[in-house]
A and B are shown apart, each in its own frame.
Chain A
Amino acid sequence: MRIPVKAVGVAVALLLSAPALAGWEPTKPVEIVVAAGAGGASDQMARMMQAAIQKNSLMKQPIVVSLKGGASGAEALMYMKSSEGDPNKVLIAYSLIYMLPLSAKIPFNWRELTPVSVVALDQFVLWDNSAGPKTVKEFVAAAKAASAPFKMGGTGSKREDHVLTVFLEQKTGAKFSYLPYKSGGEAATQLVGNHTESNVNNPSENLEVWRAGQVRPLCVFDKERISYTTKVTDTQSWADIPTCKEEGVDVQYLMLRAMFLPGKVTAEQQAFYVELFQKVTQTAEYKDYMEKQALKPIFLTGKDMVQFLEEDDAVNKSLMTEAGFVAK
């Protein structure tokens, strides 16, 4: 009875795979919804995906990037929530999907959207002005000794940058004045102009000013160093930046970059995008982007993704609670 079982198995497999081959395809231009301003890390990544999809002809319909960074990104979340059943919109999400509903009481829950895939993990680095302290130890000492407020720039209030600042304070005993700017780019130039003493930008947000020798990376908030060893500046690569733990400050945080569809789309529509973004992660554009901007490549979908999201949600929730950022 072995052969029939196998045959049935093959038939079932064929049936299952058939929709994925000849199945649903977008009939309208597809929108990548960015929950941040122009030029930020999300926007850059969305533009990379747009270019990767169009240059490699991964989809027949054109793809457009729509910036919905209003209300610190809440605009994009509400836009996705109200687009229920529309398979032509994909959100490029990051930790705000957990944090914003907690801090600002936005009526949003990521479980109402359709998860597609996690496409990368983003790092956070502690930076200071190149004229400032050279090591984490000196930096912490300077912060403690400062008589005027010691300024830390970041994006938004009660979000990842702010959370990291609070944990830095707890672990080092130093005191920072946190300045919430509208974007990571602004936080970068304000550091270069010496209007703040430090920031905790993503690698991509500070890359250019680092290359120009205007800022210095002190440590990376991860349990291991970044793996890329190609020289970024004349003397340093991403891998040369020590972890904060090595430097005696045990703070770790990685941020997801994930794709979501609105709620109530069909399984076929979901399958189309899972395949699309899987193809994107195999393009040269994606690989190049990961290395240049020092992201961790990863591809999670289906059950793995949901499990990842649930765990990540719990971690973020406890961090937010501990930092005292959950609105009552």
Chain B
Amino acid sequence: MEAFGLLVHGFAVLLTWKTLVLMMVGLVLGIFVGVLPGLGGPNGVAILLPLTFTMDPTSAIVMLSCIYWGALFGGAITSILFNIPGEAWSVATTFDGYPMAQQGRAAEALTAAFTSSFVGSLVAVLLITFLAPMISSFALKFGPPEFFAVYLLTFCSFVGLGREAKHKTVISMSLGLLLAGVGMDTVSGQLRMTFGTAELLRGINFLVAVIGLFGISEILLTMEERLALRGHAASISLRVVLSVWKDLPKYWVTLLRSSFIGCWLGITPGGAIAASFMGYNLAKRFANDPESFGKGRIEGVFAPETAAHASGTAALLPMLALGIPGSGTAAILLGGLMVWGLNPGPLLFVEHKDFVWGLIASMYLGNVVGLMLVLTTVPIFASILRVPFAAVAPMIVVSCAIGAYAIQNAMFDIWLMLGFGVVGYVFKKIGIPLAPFTLALVLGNRAEDAFRLSMIGSGGDLKVFWSNGLVGSITTLAIVLLFWPLIDGLLSRAGSTQGAKPASP
């Protein structure tokens, strides 16, 4: 157990008063940053990065990664209370978290979110601790066909496993794919659908769209229905925390499944978002009563949060071991490492043991301390819902606007956000699901690039998606999931004779 000895050494490096204080400061800053939509982890870390230039690398990275943990915890708060996802991977948390808050179970939902974040990260950190060398070589197996297969799997699981009408899912996803094409095309180097305007060069930013689609449209709906937030009767006490924890063992399958999905997708760059959606969809698929999802079911919070945080944490591994950031925040941490003269790459684990193991130890400590901190503040956050809507709504709109602006310092994005607010409102009215749209918007470009690079590399031969065991099994799984309702129907028809109730496609 060489890893264990090194980890103990890491804790020894870490356990000084100075580091612990920095850790607390980082967590508190992170939670505040996470609560503001759009101003999530990446921006928080970017703003605070220069503060750390005077520190030694270990203290600096500890503080920055604690800001990161804090922001991850904080992101769940707005998703649940206001239906505004602070980070892309919090989108799936809103599906059941927000209905729970509306039913007066905000404290329960928040506890569930924080606890499952903790579990997800913990599993991922354990993985990093013991499997680091093996996993980095696994990530190297991913070329364009493998990447495309993973994106295809995500899209297909959405269509095949979603509860909404299939054609509406496909419509929503196609619109998302269309908008994902706006801006510069990496493969051909040409501009697409920019209509000669400089503002559209950048393409449509995913977070801007999400803030509008979820946040602004929710405000519009609430205004139309009645001028009140519906979570005012929240029972708020620390007893809620304990009761959620008591039920935790019942959900071990969901937690384990989501952790596994999260770790797997986190190691393949850019997987955190896909992971949260996939975790949610699979939990729904394997539940006895899938219909109850989306109406305030606690598993609907456990599943995506666990997966998102497992993958958010696992994403640090390719960053350290290969220098490929798996998420926006990881990319900024990567920049930080280089400023301190540490070059992420295969040799980092060999040449800078102190740093790497100090960071890994800080993941354990930061998570435990972070969990304590957010749980004790659950009552405070949940009580925000008691403030009259008329007072909260303008503040939400303003913070949405700030968030949308801050992503790229562009005034145009605020208009775009408002536009998406109206689109979101219309979609909700006519029953088109928003999630496939957002998923396609964020993964569409990468999926397209991966597909075209695969085609260039194989000379246009589609067999490349079955060219080895890894890519072949992912592609096949994707196609099975796409036609899952049909397969499921056939299976249950074959398995049971007359009298069995026909499976709904």
Contacts and interface: CB of A to CB of B under 8 A. Distances in A.
Nearest to B185: A157
Contacts, number: 140
Nearest to A195: B143
Contacts of B334: 38-39
B325 A208 contact: no
Interface in A202-219: 207-209, 211-212, 214
5 contacts: A64-B46, A74-B184, A182-B186, A189-B322, A208-B345
Interface residues of B, number: 44
Contact of A195 (B144, B183, B346): B144
Given A44-B338, A209-B346, 13 more contacts: A37-B331, A38-B325, A39-B331, A54-B50, A64-B50, A72-B184, A74-B184, A81-B198, A157-B185, A189-B323, A190-B143, A192-B140, A195-B143
Given A149-B459, A193-B142, A51 B53 contact: yes
A47 B183 contact: no
Interface in B166-187: 183-187
A214 B322 CA distance: 12
B189 A156 contact: yes
B345 A104 contact: no
A158 B188 CA distance: 8
Interface of A is mostly: mixed
A62 B331 contact: no
Interface string B141-163: 11110000000000000000000
A243 B269 CA distance: 35
Contacts of B408: 68, 70, 75
B323 A39 contact: yes
A130 interface: no
Contact of A75 (B202, B339, B347): B202
Contacts of B142: 193
B201 interface: yes
A31 B190 CA distance: 28
B339 to A, nearest CB: 5
A149 B184 CA distance: 26
A78 interface: yes
Interface stretch (B120-128, B277-285, B450-458): B450-458
Interface string B319-331: 0001111000001
A75 B203 CA distance: 10
B108 to A, nearest CB: 38
A158 B184 contact: no
Contact of A104 (B184, B187, B335): B184
Interface size class of A (residues with CB under 8 A): 35 or more
A33 to B, nearest CB: 11
A185 interface: yes
Contact of B183 (A44, A70, A196, A325): A70
Given A47-B339, A82-B198, A195-B144, A177 B184 contact: no
Contacts of A157: 185-189
Interface in A193-241: 193-196, 207-209, 211-212, 214
Contacts of A26: none
A84 interface: no
A179 interface: yes
A200 B409 CA distance: 34
Q: Which of A71, A107, A162, A193: most chain B Cβ within 10 A?
A: A71
